[in-house]
Amino acid sequence: MKEELKRRLFRFDHEGWNNPWYGFVAAPILTALGISIGELFGVHLVSSALGEDLIVILCMVVTIVVGFTGVALIDMGR
């Protein structure tokens, strides 16, 4: 299971996925969700404009990684 998850998360082609459309559908949705979370809650965490931008980027990256892990687990179950 661990190797299948790595194959889905760390390769940039769609050979490891059962359904290659997961990446095309999930990527923009997860990106928008991460940016929204960062914009909503980032202003409360830091006081500088650069810090707010970094919080938005961090939230976007974390949301994409966690989201693609969930999508990969769903894909492995199919």
Instruction: Find, among 16, 8, 19, the residue nearest to 69 by Cα.
Output: 8
Cα–Cα distance measured from residue 43 to residue 53, given in angstroms and rounded to the nearest whole number: 9
What are the pLDDT digits (tens) for 28-72? 999 999 999 999 988 788 888 898 899 999 999 999 999 989 988
Query: Which residue is listed with tokens 């404009």?
Result: 49
**Res 4: pLDDT:** 82
Question: Contact 75/18 with Cβ under 8 angstroms?
Answer: yes
Cα–Cα distance measured from residue 74 to residue 78, given in angstroms and rounded to the nearest whole number: 7
pTM over 0.75: yes
Tokens of 76: 């492995």
